[in-house]
Structure 1
Amino acid sequence: MTTTFRVKFWEIKKRTGRKRPYPVRWRTDTREHSEWYATKALATSRLSELSQAARNGEPFDVDTGLPVSEVRRRNSLSFLEFAQSYMDLKWPDAAATTRGSTVEALATAGAVFVRDGVGRPDVTELRGVLSRNLLPPTTRDAELSAEDREVVDWLTRNSRPLFDLTDAVAVREVLDALAAKLDGKAAAATVYQRKRAVLFNLLSYAVELGMIPDNPLTRVKRKVAKVVDQVDPRVVANPGQVERLLTAVTYVGRRNQERGAHLAAFFATGYYAAARPAEGLGLREDDCTLPEEGWGLLMLGESRPAAGKRWTDSGEVHDRRGLKHRGAKDVRPVPIPPVLVRILRDHLDRFGTAPDGRLFRSPNGGVVSSSTYYRVWEEARQYALTPAQAASPLAGRPYDLRHAAVSLMLNGGVPATDVAERAGHSVEVLLRVYAKCIDGQRELINKRIEELFDR
């Protein structure tokens, strides 16, 4: 592209005998250009746009006669096209849950970043075809219903150029959409931050390819609620409460008397080994060293997070991946106390393993779904806790067993480095996330402060 700052405009003069009699004429260097309009108002508006670009010091393309920004806008991929190319780039190496959250964020943005054309579908319909059909590389060739085909065709025609996102007003409209749910209510701060991060990465990729001059999200600020990245102390159960909860799990199961009993060791692993639920689901017999007496050892190396069939390479609901924040083949050795050794040995004696060696399985041998173990846990809470406690956040999720274990170790004086190693955290993250749960030294500190005041 050859550009110039030498631009000259001529006055609009009506030419009779033409269907569009009002010309906008200008010259870039030595090349003349013209556009013709049916009314003088349209011609005047167009001349004003071009003149404003020249006054702002914007270079013009000599061949087309247009401001460089307009050339880029006209030649730009649509947001939909660029989002699809971005998904093609990210899909192969992304975890299944990351694929799902990335598609969700781009579908939210893509559903509102459209021209207001005739027959515009509802935002829900636009998000639906983006999430199901247009963004995931694996479903773009799937057969569409007549209704979905109509929505897809409209969106393909009316997705706005990516370059339009260099305009602050357009960016703010998209950010407003990311911050709201479909019913118009505010989305959680964590949801907004996650979706904004996806959009930021998409636009950074566009900058890398030279499609936009800079990332507009660095220029547009939007006030949002602060994201609290700390464990709520109210969810942390004490050892006595945990013991009652683990016992209550064995009572769960009206039609299948062993439904709760089979998961008792799964929940115990979340507490005594501070394992994430997805890590417990991937635990195999070969990963366990379970002596008849004394401490044992778990070699945690696989995680089975629930992601959804659309996002996994295998087509299964649960992804198969390495440990969180670690290499694909890294393992985390976790020493386990004798009480968990006995629980796991009893579990193996009573229930055996799945065909692939997993300790915990569904009735058909698959991975236990999160909905299943959540239902068991909620029923156990009703048995083990008082009505007031059951209505509170106390141990509200199976993941809270891990929080209880980490908090117990920190408050018991176990060095943070050792706790972090067992839990699979960095020390920095550990102390930040559990800052409100560390109160083991409170009485000692209070006594020292009291002594200071008494001097």
Structure 2
Amino acid sequence: MKTTYDVKLGQIQQRTDRGTSAYIARWRVAGKQKSKSFRTKGLANAFMSDLRQATKTGEEFDVATGLPVSMLAPSASGPSFLEFAQAYVLRRWNTSAARTRETDAYALLTLVPALVAAAPRRPAAEELREVLKLHVLLPESRRAELTAAQAAALSWLERASLPLSALGEAQVLRTALDAISVTFAGAPAGANTVRRKRSILHHLLEHAVEQKVFSSNPLDEIKWTAPKAATVIDPRTVVNPAQARHLLDALPKVGRKRGARLKALFACIYYAALRPEEAADLRLRNCTLPESGWGLIVLEKARPQGTKRWTNSGETHESRGLKHRADKETREIPSPPVLVAMLREHITEYGTAKDGRIFRTGSGGSYSSSAYSYVWQEARKLALTPEQVSSSLAARPYDLRHAAVSLWLNAGVPAPEVAKRAGHSVDVLLRVYAKCIDGQQEHINGKINNALDT
């Protein structure tokens, strides 16, 4: 616990803009703003009086909570799980991508409310998740002001949260594993979701091992089998070249202009195996587009979509380094003539954004995933049969990337070259696309026939 004598008491402010009147006590500890909500002015005055008395007697204040040491809940077991979870997220904030921050928080929205002691007047689960999402699991500068109800929910959570050391007990860990195995609505959670949340819990406990709370990771001692998750591409999602062309040709028929503006973006996903977020950040300087023949794309950045509260910029889209690559590392993808022609036509028709991005909305922004997914579904209805539309064939724009990689492998392109262009390792490439490599079954069946005939 880090303590300080640097304390400056502020004022009590009344807030009436959210239906229920609340009184906010404000003070600073080690230069950091602290606040606490109360239902009545008398309670707020009493709290500030306690803080004032602590400063007069020269008492140390806890930097994390902003409270005098004498007002902290006694704990012989170190920090609570809530406190450690908050520190875990904030410690990783500056080195994590927005999606990683959101994934960490999403797991903790499940774990923190589950790892509590029985206490009266427990708030509803959605109230606890809301206060974690809007306040606790964000840096202080990004935290929302809490309503009186939210402040009460946080106060309950602070009192009820189990000590971190309790996670050394098997029954507590099984409570955590049971919690991540269901959705917020109580239905069985998807295998990938369960495995991801379990991984985050394991990593959090590794940090606890580093801080000598545990001698080894207690989760390793629990006999628990994670649900099996699909790790290979379903070949039923993969379009052939003719189907891909029909889909791309249908795009200009969707909407007034949106489909036409997105045609070349989808073409980049299919002909160059770009991830959608890589295509979203593709810039004119990244492209060599000759009048004829093959061109070249040199990827520098990706532009993933995230929730504003988790991004550095506070915007839904922001440029980041390429997935699975070191900072400033690039990836080169030769572009076939058909893609070169589409990009040249697109740039001639629509130009580029001020920052050089090739794909932008009419106002210069980035397309949301929901926007281009809607366009894609409309194109499927135009290009595919009703049976195909209801199937998994090219159900998502990302399936175009799978089709591209499958095509390259089946065309005989060596796996290391395919992996290099797609941004995979060779072992991941062969494992993920194992079922999409054609021509093997007939060859193997022939071998079996030969053996049977002998």
TM-score, normalization by structure 1: 0.81
1:329-356 superposed Cα distances (whole Å, 9 cap, x missing partner): 0110100100000000000000111111
Residue in structure 1 matched with residue 108 of structure 2 by the alignment? 106
- Secondary structure at 2:334 match in 1: strand
Deviates more, 1:442-451 or 1:190-199: 442-451
Residue in structure 2 matched with residue 339 of structure 1 by the alignment? 338
Q: Distance in 2 between matches of 1:300 and 1:277?
A: 12
Q: Distance in 2 between matches of 1:197 and 1:124?
A: 23
Q: Distance in 2 between matches of 1:221 and 1:73?
A: 30
Which residue identity is paired with 1:303? A
1:381-426 superposed Cα distances (whole Å, 9 cap, x missing partner): 0000100000000000000000001111111111111111110111
Residue in structure 1 matched with residue 127 of structure 2 by the alignment? 125
Deviates more, 1:401-410 or 1:117-126: 117-126
- Contact (CA 8 Å) 1:410, 1:440: kept in 2 or not? no
The match for 1:155 among 154, 157, 160 is 157
- Secondary structure at 1:74 match in 2: coil
Query: CA offset at residue 454 of structure 1?
Result: 3.7
- Secondary structure at 1:344 match in 2: helix
Residue in structure 1 matched with residue 28 of structure 2 by the alignment? none
1:36-74 superposed Cα distances (whole Å, 9 cap, x missing partner): xxxxxxxxxxxxxxxxxxxxxxxxxxxxxxxxxxxx962
Q: Distance in 1 between matches of 2:332 and 2:190?
A: 35
- Contact (CA 8 Å) 1:87, 1:135: kept in 2 or not? yes
1:352-379 superposed Cα distances (whole Å, 9 cap, x missing partner): 1111110111222111110110000000
Q: Does 1:180 align with 2:182?
A: yes
Q: Does 1:400 align with 2:399?
A: yes
Q: Distance in 1 between matches of 2:90 and 2:409?
A: 44
Residue in structure 2 matched with residue 217 of structure 1 by the alignment? 219
- Secondary structure at 1:333 match in 2: strand
Query: CA offset at residue 156 of structure 1?
Result: 1.3
Query: CA offset at residue 442 of structure 1?
Result: 3.6
1:67-105 superposed Cα distances (whole Å, 9 cap, x missing partner): xxxxx9624101111111111210100011000000111
Gaps of 5+ in 2: 1-73
Residue in structure 1 matched with residue 44 of structure 2 by the alignment? none
The match for 2:200 among 193, 198, 201 is 198
- Secondary structure at 2:296 match in 1: strand
Q: Distance in 2 between matches of 1:387 and 1:204?
A: 50
- Contact (CA 8 Å) 1:288, 1:296: kept in 2 or not? yes
Q: Distance in 2 between matches of 1:436 and 1:73?
A: 54
Query: CA offset at residue 141 of structure 1?
Result: 4.3
Q: Distance in 1 between matches of 2:103 and 2:318?
A: 14
Deviates more, 1:199-208 or 1:433-442: 433-442
The match for 2:85 among 52, 71, 83 is 83
Say if 1:140 and 1:357 are closer, same or farther in 2 by CA, change over 3 A.
closer
Question: Looking at CA atoms only, which structure, 1 or 2, has the larger radius of gyration?
Answer: 1
Q: Does 1:326 align with 2:325?
A: yes
Residue in structure 1 matched with residue 139 of structure 2 by the alignment? 137
Residue in structure 2 matched with residue 240 of structure 1 by the alignment? 242
Q: Distance in 2 between matches of 1:128 and 1:320?
A: 28
- Secondary structure at 2:308 match in 1: coil
Sequence identity (%): 51
Q: List aligned pairs for 1:264-413, cutoff 5 A.
A: 264-413=263-412
- Secondary structure at 1:224 match in 2: coil
1:117-169 superposed Cα distances (whole Å, 9 cap, x missing partner): 11111222112211221012256643111211111111112111101111100
Deviates more, 1:184-193 or 1:128-137: 128-137
Q: Distance in 1 between matches of 2:363 and 2:246?
A: 29
Query: CA offset at residue 250 of structure 1?
Result: 1.2
- Secondary structure at 1:204 match in 2: helix
1:273-299 superposed Cα distances (whole Å, 9 cap, x missing partner): 011001000100010000001000000
- Secondary structure at 2:298 match in 1: strand
- Contact (CA 8 Å) 1:73, 1:163: kept in 2 or not? no
Which residue identity is paired with 2:130? G
Q: List aligned pairs for 1:28-47, cutoff 5 A.
A: none
- Contact (CA 8 Å) 1:96, 1:319: kept in 2 or not? no
Say if 1:449 and 1:382 are closer, same or farther in 2 by CA, change over 3 A.
same
- Contact (CA 8 Å) 1:132, 1:139: kept in 2 or not? no
Query: CA offset at residue 452 of structure 1?
Result: 4.2
- How many residue pairs match? The answer is 381
Q: Distance in 1 between matches of 2:343 and 2:424?
A: 24
TM-score, normalization by structure 2: 0.82
- Contact (CA 8 Å) 1:111, 1:127: kept in 2 or not? yes
- Contact (CA 8 Å) 2:317, 2:366: kept in 1 or not? yes
1:184-215 superposed Cα distances (whole Å, 9 cap, x missing partner): 11100100110111111111101111112321
1:218-277 superposed Cα distances (whole Å, 9 cap, x missing partner): 011223321121101110011111110001111100xxx111000000000000001100
- Contact (CA 8 Å) 1:120, 1:154: kept in 2 or not? yes
- Contact (CA 8 Å) 2:195, 2:227: kept in 1 or not? no
Which residue identity is paired with 1:108? T
- Secondary structure at 1:297 match in 2: strand
Which residue identity is paired with 2:105? V
Q: Distance in 2 between matches of 1:285 and 1:435?
A: 35
- Contact (CA 8 Å) 1:290, 1:296: kept in 2 or not? yes
- Secondary structure at 2:320 match in 1: coil
